[in-house]
Amino acid sequence: REAELGMSGGEDVDLTAAGVLELAWGMGLLTWQDSPKAGWYDTDGEMVEESDILDRYRDEVVARCGIREFVDDGVIAPIADEEVTVYLDRDITLSVPDEATARTIEASDPEHTLVVPDAETGEWTVTRLAGSLARVPRRAALSRTVGGQFPRDFDPERWGIPASMTQGMDPIASWNLVTAVDAFLSAGFTPAELLKAVHPSDVASTQGTGFGGMESMRKMFVGRFLGEERPSDILQEALPNVVAAHVMQSYIGGYGAMVQPVSACATAAVSIEEGWDKIALGKADVVVAGAIDDISIESVVGFGNMNATAEAATMRAKGISDRHFSRANDRRRGGFVEAEGGGTVILARGSVAAQMGLPVAGVVGFVSSYADGAHTSIPAPGLGALGAGRGGRSSRLAKALAALGVEADDIALVSKHDTSTGANDPNESELHTRLARALGRSEGNSLVAVSQKTITGHAKGGAAVFQVAGLTEILASGVAPGNASLDVVDAPLAKDAFWVWPRRPIRLAGRGGRDGRVPGAGPVRAGLLTSLGFGHVSGLIAIVHPGAFEAALRQAAGQEAVDAWLASANARLAAGTRRRRAGMIGRAPLFEPVQGRRLGEESRQRDPHEVEAAMLLDPDARLGTDGVYHTGE
Please count the structural domains in the chain: 3
Q: What are the φ/ψ torsions at residue 142 (nearest 5 degrees)?
A: -80, 150
Angle of helix 171-187 versus helix 559-584 axis, rounded to 10: 130
Question: In the predicted model, what is the mean pLDDT of residues 422-451?
Answer: 96
Q: Which one-letter amino acid corresponds to residue 330?
A: D
Of the chain, the end-to-end C-alpha distance in Å amounts to: 43
Residues 384, 314 share a domain: yes
More confident call, 70 vs 364: 364
Q: What CA–CA distances, in Å, run from 461 to 210, 266, 285, 529? A: 5, 6, 24, 15
Q: What is the pLDDT of residue 333?
A: 97
Q: Give per-residue pLDDT as tens, 498-555.
A: 999 999 999 987 544 444 444 445 789 999 999 999 999 999 999 999 999 999 999 9
Q: What is the pLDDT of residue 53?
A: 97
Residues 244, 121 share a domain: no
Q: What is the pLDDT of residue 494?
A: 87
Q: Is residue 8 part of a domain?
A: no
The pLDDT confidence band at residue 8, using thresholds 50, 70 and 90, is: very low
Domain boundary, last residue among 141, 161, 189: 141
Q: What CA–CA distances, in Å, run from 576 to 73, 177, 580? A: 32, 17, 6
Say how many residues make up the chain.
Answer: 633
Distance CA 68, CA 108 (A): 43
> Does residue 27 sit in helix, strand or coil?
coil
Domain that holds residue 608: 601-633
Residues 330, 192 share a domain: yes
Distance CA 414, CA 393 (A): 19
Radius of gyration of the chain (CA): 27
Residues 229, 266 share a domain: yes
Question: Exposed e or buried b for every residue in 298-331, given b needs 16+ CB within 10 A?
Answer: bbbbebbeeebbbbbeebeeeebebbbbbbbbbe
The pLDDT confidence band at residue 237, using thresholds 50, 70 and 90, is: confident
Does residue 281 register a pLDDT over 50? yes
The pLDDT confidence band at residue 5, using thresholds 50, 70 and 90, is: very low
Q: Is residue 591 part of a domain?
A: no
Question: In the predicted model, what is the mean pLDDT of residues 365-394?
Answer: 95
Does residue 88 register a pLDDT over 80? yes
Q: Is residue 483 part of a domain?
A: yes
Residues 271, 221 share a domain: yes
Residues 517, 614 share a domain: no
As a whole-number percent, the residues of the chain with pLDDT over 90 amount to 76
Q: Is residue 7 part of a domain?
A: no
Q: Is residue 255 part of a domain?
A: yes
Residues 551, 537 share a domain: yes
Q: What is the pLDDT of residue 566?
A: 97
Residues 120, 231 share a domain: no
Q: What is the pLDDT of residue 230?
A: 74
The pLDDT confidence band at residue 242, using thresholds 50, 70 and 90, is: very high
Q: Is residue 569 part of a domain?
A: no
Looking up residue 113, the CATH number of its domain turns out to be: 3.30.70.2490
Residues 416, 383 share a domain: yes
Contact of 61 with 15, CB cutoff 8 Å? yes
Q: What is the four-CA torsion angle of 425, 430, 433, 438, rounded to 10 degrees?
A: -140
Q: Give per-residue pLDDT as tens, 246-271.
A: 999 999 999 999 999 999 999 999 99
The pLDDT confidence band at residue 46, using thresholds 50, 70 and 90, is: very high
Distance CA 608, CA 286 (A): 25
Q: Is residue 539 part of a domain?
A: yes
Distance CA 500, CA 488 (A): 12
Mean pLDDT in the chain? 90
Prior bond of 36 cis (ω within 30°): yes
Looking up residue 442, the CATH number of its domain turns out to be: 3.40.47.10
The pLDDT confidence band at residue 598, using thresholds 50, 70 and 90, is: low
Q: What is the pLDDT of residue 108?
A: 87
Residue 511 CA, distance from chain mean position: 30
Residues 359, 317 share a domain: yes
Residues 309, 181 share a domain: yes
Alpha helix (H) residue ranges in 198-241: 214-218, 224-226, 234-238
Domain boundary, last residue among 141, 156, 181: 141
Q: What are the φ/ψ torsions at residue 477 (nearest 5 degrees)?
A: -100, -25
Alpha helix (H) residue ranges in 306-395: 312-317, 350-356
Does residue 219 register a pLDDT over 90? no
Q: What is the pLDDT of residue 601?
A: 46
Distance CA 448, CA 465 (A): 19
Q: What is the pLDDT of residue 449?
A: 97
Q: Is residue 479 part of a domain?
A: yes
Alpha helix (H) residue ranges in 524-607: 547-557, 559-584
More confident call, 354 vs 598: 354
Distance CA 461, CA 459 (A): 6
Closest CA to 339 of 439, 422, 462, 198: 462
> Does residue 514 sit in helix, strand or coil?
coil
Give the β-pairing of 67-69 and 146-148: antiparallel
Adjacency order of strands within the sheet including 286-293: 203-205, 286-293, 341-348
Residues 135, 158 share a domain: no
Domain boundary, last residue among 111, 141, 171: 141
